[in-house]
Amino acid sequence: MLEKLKFNSQGLIPAIAQNYRDGTVLMMAFMNAESIQKTLSTGEAHYLESFPCVTVASRIWSYSKNQRIFL
């Protein structure tokens, strides 16, 4: 599946989190191949912590189940 995604030159792809009931956009973040693999294996969304324009190392983070964000 990852090979079908179109990552940018930095290896990132935008990800939009939406309310599943009404479609309201909750946030926009970036994902890389590692964060997508973690999302698929855990069932919880994982995103990069920093923005693509920042040159420092990025950390992957996840919403907790208590925040009621479901895939």
Q: Structural domains in the chain?
A: 2-56 (3.10.20.810)
For 44, counting Cβ atoms within 10 Å of its Cβ (0-12 exposed, 13-18 middle, 19+ buried), the class is: middle
β-strands 60-62, 13-18 pairing? unpaired
pTM of the predicted model as reported, rounded to 2 decimal places: 0.68
How do residues 11-51 score in pLDDT, each as one tens digit?
999 999 898 899 999 888 899 999 999 999 988 888 887 65
What are the CB-based long-range contacts (under 8 Å, 24+) for 56-60? 58/32, 60/34, 60/35
